[in-house]
Amino acid sequence: MATLIAPHNAAELKPLFVSDPNERARLKTEAAQLPAITISSAAAGNAVMLAGGYFTPLAGFMSKADALGVGQTMRTSSGLFWPTPVLNLVHDAGAIEPGDRIALEDPNVEGAPVLAIQTVEAVDKFSASELEELAEQVFGTTDRKHPGVEQFMAQGDVALSGPIEVLNYSYFETDFPDTFRTAVDIRNEILERGWERVVAFQTRNPMHRAHEELCRMAMERLGADGLVIHMLLGKLKPGDIPAPVRDAAIRKMVELYFPENSTLITGYGFDMLYAGPREALLHAVFRQNMGATDFIVGRDHAGVGDYYEPFEAQEIFEKIPNDALKIQMFVADHTAFSKKLNKVVMMREAPDHTKDDFVLLSGTAVREMLGRGEALPGEFARPEVAQILMDYYREEAS
């Protein structure tokens, strides 16, 4: 029987989804009588992650003190290592007071059904300067052009903290039935397969040849039994390829180019933060919770624009205490197809190459080619994957 890596700072996962149908029905009845607020998309994503056990050992939304501690030292008031605040921010708490139970309505589902019930422990107001400082610590900038900062600063300045009981998984379970999985689901699948060394790969994009080969390299070099491709299914910035298209492209790639039963294609319900180094650490926390032993961290991981240095997300792992996480980082350089060697390589492992020896395409160039209906080079993308992307762009243009 395989022994799985322990969850983050806990003996077992702590999913906050109410799994007992009778209790869930009782809570839905209670929710109808409670004061209700429609929460932000970010808070809804936090609730879904808490529901699925990804945010073990958290019991709910953080207090202002915990969030400020996370910003300053990546520690909550109790000393728990955590890299990003998990907040329920609102613009106005109205008459809500500590001790109240409130219904949290889902902003991402038609009719705003109740997503969770929260027992409010504190109602704390952030000053404008505290929010600015927190944004600077988490995102490395206060520039409103940064999509994560813009989204964070738009949520409100009042934090409702306290434990939650989650009643559903928002739109993720219905919109992505084949892909959305909780940390509990993935742990169980890893156990069933008997995998002991498991590599996790984070993606918000379709996977091209370089990503594919990077996963293969990590598995071979680590002697891993399995790979979990774990894609973000929540909100992205404008211009990013939507989740259903990404999902189809990744499934086609795995079906044709990976050995059978070597790979799990899964997704999680969360909005992208684009927080670079801090988000890389958060990704590591919840990949440990889902049972992965190793996590690929590549160039510009979870970055956006020019806000972060290319390998800043790797360097932050060297700055945290050794006992902060059990999961190991697989350090990846930029990967690209070498025309000299006729295969994908990590660029730092080909010191005799010049830039012209690699097939390199920027995301912008790829989007422009696809938008014009041009096939991507075979060295850059598998033809079957490129076709799915071309069909999407053609549809968008028509």
Q: Would residue 26 show up in a list of annotated catalytic residues for this protein?
A: no
pLDDT in the model for residue 2:
65
Is the same domain home to 367 and 276? yes
Does 328 fall in a domain? yes
The Cβ-side half-sphere exposure at 86, using a 13 Å CA radius, reads: 29
Judge contact between 157 and 18, C-beta under 8 A. Answer: no
Provide the token pair at 391.
């069909």
* 204 shares a domain with 140: no
Whether residues 83 and 196 share a domain: the answer is: no
- Is 147 in the same domain as 182? no
Domain boundaries, position 255: 177-397
Contacts of 164 (CB under 8 A, 6+ apart): 16, 47, 50, 59, 60, 61, 104, 116, 117, 118, 119
The pLDDT assigned to 3 comes to 83
Q: Assess if residue 5 is contained within a domain.
A: no
CATH number at residue 284: 3.40.50.620
CA angle 261, 262, 266 (to 5 degrees): 90
Domain assignment present for 144: yes
204 is catalytic: yes
Same domain, 74 and 212: no
Same domain? For 146 and 191 the reply is no
Distance (Å, whole) CA 57 – CA 122: 19
Name residues of the chain where pLDDT drops below 50.
none
Among 109, 144, 173, the domain boundary falls at 173
Query: Does residue 3 lie in a domain region?
Result: no
Q: Are residues 182 and 97 part of one domain? A: no
User: Is position 202 within any domain?
Assistant: yes
Q: What's the CATH code of the domain at 87?
A: 3.10.400.10
Q: Is 111 exposed, middle or buried (0-12, 13-18, 19+ CB in 10 A)?
A: exposed
Residue 14 falls inside a structural domain: no
Annotated catalytic residue, options 24, 75, 188, 205: 205
Please choose, from the candidates 113, 120, 81, the residue with its C-alpha nearest in 3D space to the C-alpha of residue 98: 120
What pLDDT score does 1 carry? 57
- Whether residue 13 is contained in a domain is answered as no
C-alpha distances (whole Å) from 224 to each of 27, 84, 197 are 42, 29, 5
Per annotation, catalytic residue among 204, 216, 299, 367:
204
* Amino acid occupying residue 256: L
Q: What local confidence, expressed as pLDDT, does residue 369 receive?
A: 86
Q: Is 196 contained in some domain? A: yes
Same-domain status, 229 and 349: yes
Domain count, the chain: 2
Residue from 100, 74, 99 nearest 85 by CA = 74
Long-range contacts of 281-285 (CB under 8 A, 24+ apart): 281/74, 281/83, 281/84, 281/316, 281/317, 281/320, 281/325, 282/83, 282/84, 283/202, 284/317, 284/325, 284/327, 284/329, 285/8, 285/55, 285/81, 285/82, 285/83, 285/325
From 173, 192, 226, the end of a domain falls on 173
Q: Are residues 151 and 287 in the same domain?
A: no
Q: Which of 173, 207, 228 is the last residue of a domain?
A: 173
Helices (H) and strands (E) in the chain, counts: 13, 15
Are residues 252 and 387 both part of a single domain? yes
Contacts of 321 (CB under 8 A, 6+ apart): 81
Assess whether 326 and 203 both reside in one domain. yes
Q: Are residues 122 and 198 located together in one domain of the fold?
A: no
